[in-house]
Amino acid sequence: MIPDEMLTGKYISMLNRLGQTYLAAKMKAHDIGSGQYSFLLTLYHHDGLSQEALSAKLLIDKGTTARAISKLEAAGYVRRKKNRADRRAYHVFLTNKARELQPELHQAIMEWNEKMLEVLSPEERQQLYGMLKRISDNTLKNLKECERTHNAE
């Protein structure tokens, strides 16, 4: 019998799927799918990042990133500019259209979070956020170490 706390992954998976569906429905009118909004969110804070940097920040495969950015570009939310110092790389910049969308996107995310977290007290929300951040950071660190030792073989 699996102990309760080992079902953490089950709830994580459920919440993730529900959230994706919710966000996708909210932003559908703007041609933003659940695979794109997290890139916009990151760019709001760090405009001009490369695709590689976006992939690293979001821990998303660079192929997935390339396609997401292509979609955003096709929909007019970002522009790609060649990096002069490194002609392999792009800078990904937000357009005005993306900036105008920011309040609505934030709104949608806040709504979803409120739906999810409404049963938690403000202190619990902080606790939950803190624990999720800690385990994400730690898991990430583990994976990187694992890669290193693997490469060292």
Work out whether 40 is an interface residue with DNA (CB under 7 A).
Answer: no
Q: How many residues does the chain have?
A: 153
Work out whether 24 is an interface residue with DNA (CB under 7 A).
Answer: yes
- The residue range among 47-55, 58-66, 73-81, 82-90 that interacts with a copy of itself, by the rule CB under 8 A, is 58-66
Work out whether 88 is an interface residue with DNA (CB under 7 A).
Answer: yes
Q: Which is nearer to a copy of itself, 119 or 152 (CB)?
A: 119
How far apart, in whole angstroms, are the C-alpha atoms of residue 31 and residue 22? 14
Among 82, 136, 145, 147, interactor with a copy of itself by CB under 8 A: 136
Cα angle at 56 between 134 and 23, to 5 degrees? 75
Q: Which is nearer to a copy of itself, 18 or 74 (CB)?
A: 18
Work out whether 36 is an interface residue with DNA (CB under 7 A).
Answer: yes
**Which letter, b or e, does each residue of 100-135 get, where b requires 16 or more Cβ atoms within 10 Å of its Cβ?**
ebeeebeebbeebeeeeeeeeeeeeeeeeeeeeeee
Q: Where are the alpha helices (DSSP H) in the chain?
A: 8-27, 37-45, 51-58, 62-74, 96-117, 122-152
Work out whether 19 is an interface residue with DNA (CB under 7 A).
Answer: no
Which residues contact a copy of itself by CB under 8 A? 2, 4-20, 38, 41, 58-60, 106, 109-110, 112-113, 115-120, 124-129, 131-136, 138-140, 142-143
